[in-house]
Structure 1
Amino acid sequence: MYFTVNGSSKMHVSYNDRTDLLYIRLDDKKQDVINRRVSDDVVLDIGEGNKIIGIEILDASMHVTLDRLLPVKYKVSKAAV
C-alpha cells in the first residue's frame, strides 16, 4: 500500500507500508535539499533559507500511531477545484 494525502497545495503526506516509511513534505516548491539525520529514525530535508521542508520517519509504525493518522479525511474546497 502506498497512501498519499494532499491536504493543501503546500503539505503532502505519504506512507509506504512495504518500507514502513512516513514522509511529510511541508513545501511543494522544487528546490535542492540537504538531508540531516536527527535520530536513528528521523531525517529532515533542509531547503533554501535553512528551512525544514520535509520530515522522513523510518520504521514509522514504531513511532506514530498510523491507524489514527491514516487515512486522513478531507474535503476539497470549491476554490481549489
Structure 2
Amino acid sequence: MRVAYDASADMAYIYLTDGIASGEAVRHVAAEDGTAVLDYDSEGRLLGIEVFGAARRLPRSLLEAAGSTAPASAPPAARGRGVDDDGRPTAP
C-alpha cells in the first residue's frame, strides 16, 4: 500500500496495488457523500481509493509521510477533476 497526497488540491490517493496502469481502472464508484472514489479493475478488484478533502479526513501523519503527486501523475479517477470548497469532486 502506498499513499500519495496533492496538498494544493487537498486530495489523497491510497494505492492498494503496486501501481495502476493507464486504463486499468475501469470502474469508479463514488461514495454517497462525495468524499471518495473507489477504483476497480475489470475483474472487480479494488485498486485504490481517492479521498477528497484529505486533510480533514485522514490522519496528518499519513499525509506527511505520503509522497506528493503532480497533476500528470494523478490517480485514475482524479484526472481532469477538481474539488469544491467542501472537498467534494467537481466535473472535469
- TM bin, normalised by shorter chain, reads 0.5 to 0.7
Greater strand proportion: 1
Which sections of structure 1, spanning at least 5 residues, go unmatched?
1-10, 73-81
Asked which structure has the greater CA Rg, the reply is 1
What CA RMSD, in Å, does the superposition of the two structures yield over aligned residues?
1.7
- Structure 1 residue runs of 4+, over 4 Å off? none
Equivalent pairs counted in the alignment come to 61
**1:16-67 Cα deviation digits (max 9, x unpaired):** 110000001112252242111023111000113111101000000111122x
- The answer as to whether partners of 2:25 and 2:47 remain within 8 angstroms in 1 is no
**Equivalent of 2:34, from 34, 40, 45?**
40
The separation in 2 between residues aligned to 1:29 and 1:21, in whole angstroms, is: 17
- The secondary structure found in structure 2 opposite 1:49 is coil
What is the percent sequence identity of the aligned residues?
26
Which sections of structure 2, spanning at least 5 residues, go unmatched?
67-92
Counterpart residue number, 1:63:
57
The separation in 1 between residues aligned to 2:57 and 2:38, in whole angstroms, is: 16
Counterpart residue number, 2:89:
none
